[in-house]
A and B are shown apart, each in its own frame.
Chain A
């Protein structure tokens, strides 16, 4: 009698097919979508990626970081440095963002991992502040007031001309299409990587460390190594996203690039409202967030006040978020990571 262990369910197989279809639609979308839809989708995809990455370290890894803006900011600034100081094309310069975020994550992890439990959160915040203050001293990149990408650099980004000819768009709109495609690629790659990671041995180790550090170590999990690995990987990806966002924005300042509200508070709300510790959570969360943003962003601080209260209410009454509620009622998991034992007869 053989047995096998699987994480696959019927819902997940269907979800997989739908996901492939959605990616295909996403790829050809610029052929007929309006420019504003492409811009909205860019926003949704980048926020989704940031939320998935935060969810990975906090929801799956138990490391509640309030310093993700450090990686967005340093990634964006590294890209700017590549373009302005070394004359790189903005698109390959995005890779510099990943490298810079990785390099920053090493000291950040070194310091923050020394802080027990909940103080980890404020520790990451301190490092993000230090990074912001140091970057604000970087006079060639505009110091505290910031700077813009030079017109020559944005004018001839690789591929923009081809896209412009292909879809008959103007250069500015073609740049949005390019940024959108890159955002789509990053979002899919991030989701796929996280899903693969969670289904691997490392993912199991990560869940064990989150649930009980000591117990995990007693069965031979190298807790420190798993945490470092996940933290560095998430930071690197966050840096790439940050650089991409600022390729599209083309204007940077320390306060915007290192904004706690934009790159950490929103991201946390997306994950909390959608459901922490589930891959489906941020997907649902980002759609809700985008809906709220479109409908109420004009209300400024009232909107943020309501968003804060909504996050508190979610934690009080539905701590596993909207997707948690759906899962409890229906048992559906689109991206299951739970291992199940299947007997050979019916398997």
Chain B
């Protein structure tokens, strides 16, 4: 019975990793940009929510609602004024710019917020649980997973049923031809990064409510997000959810065997998938 519990906890933890990964996947899918500062941006959003909580005394959910537009604006400006200038055939400049951003963000947060661990207090929700017969699951992990499903569902709807989604797919396939049709790829990229930052805010909300965070934990979140994307297969958002679940299950199983193996087990699961299925479990895009 304990293993069933471990499995369920792992899958639910995967919801959090899928939230980390969705923004990364969105940006990569549209402009082939790998944002090495993605993890640090999640931590940054968590601090932003914390500031709203502390300033206005709102609960974390309402605070995230206020932080989200700010993060959208930040992402839009980052893309418009910095990243668009370095996007091109050469993959080196955008990688190095986002790596510089990662280091700058980490150390900026360290100066402003100190190295102390923080948490978003969610009140009774933190310890609430639901009895599902054979297993009892925490309300918070369940809520995280449900949000991940909702975010991915919404992203798929945006992609395949809206004019914006059509523009996303067009610039992803061929920016030059798309611009002949009256789409400005650079504006579309800016909106996409803004949207990714909204997802980052949602991820940050759950990260902050479920565990402690401090300025140094960003890179590890980037690695989990990246692994979920690769396991799922590039370009497949639902695959990302499966990828997150695999990392989550590997980690909870590893932790069950020996607490020191938790993180390592997640990485090893990723390497095994990369070994057996180099294009991921549900590959879509041909890049």
Contact indicator A126/B223 (Cβ below 8 Å): yes
- Whether A117 and B91, one on each chain, are in contact in the complex, defined by CB atoms closer than 8 angstroms, is yes
How many A residues are at the interface, by size bracket? 35 or more
Q: Which residue of B lies closest to A130 (CB)?
A: B267
Indicate with 1 or 0, residue by residue over B260-275, a CB within 8 angstroms of chain A CB atoms. Answer: 1001100110110011
B86 interface contact, C-beta 8 A: yes
Query: Which of B100, B105, B274 is within 8 Å of A111, CB to CB?
Result: B274
Any chain B CB within 8 A of the CB of A94?
no
B121 within 8 A of partner (CB):
no
* A109 close to B (CB within 8 Å): no
Q: Is A192 in contact with chain B by the CB < 8 A criterion?
A: no
Q: How many residues of B contact A (CB 8 A)?
A: 46
The residue of chain B having its C-beta at the shortest distance from the C-beta of A122 within the complex is B226
Interface residues of A in 221-269 (CB under 8 A from B): 260-261, 265, 268-269
- A118 near B91 with CB under 8 A, answer yes
Contact A66 B287 (CB under 8 A): no
Say yes or no: is B125 at the interface (Cβ < 8 Å to chain A). Answer: no
Contact of B32 among A66, A115, A118, A302 (CB under 8 A): A118
A125 close to chain B: CB less than 8 A? yes
Interface-side segment among B6-14, B107-115, B127-135, B198-206: B107-115
Residue of A nearest to B225 (CB): A122
Selecting from A150-158, A312-320, A332-340, the interface stretch reads A312-320
**Contact residues in A for B97 (Cβ distance below 8 Å):** 311-312, 315-316
Please determine whether A126 and B107 come into contact, CB atoms closer than 8 angstroms. Answer: no
Query: Out of B34, B82, B104, B111, which one reaches A122, CB within 8 Å?
Result: B34
Least Cβ distance of A285 to chain B in Å? 13
Give the contacts of B85-128 with A (CB-CB under 8 A).
85-86, 91-97, 99-108, 110-111
CA distance A305 to B86 in the complex (A): 20
CB of B227 closer than 8 Å to a CB of A: yes
Q: In the bound complex, how far is the Cα of B274 from the Cα of A48, in angstroms?
A: 34
Pairs A–B under 8 Å by Cβ, sample size 14: A118-B34, A121-B34, A121-B95, A123-B274, A125-B219, A126-B226, A126-B227, A265-B103, A268-B96, A302-B111, A305-B108, A316-B82, A316-B85, A316-B97
Residues of B whose CB lies within 8 Å of any CB of A are 28, 32-34, 36, 82, 85-86, 91-97, 99-108, 110-111, 219-220, 222-223, 226-227, 230, 234, 260, 263-264, 267-268, 270-271, 274-275, 278, 287
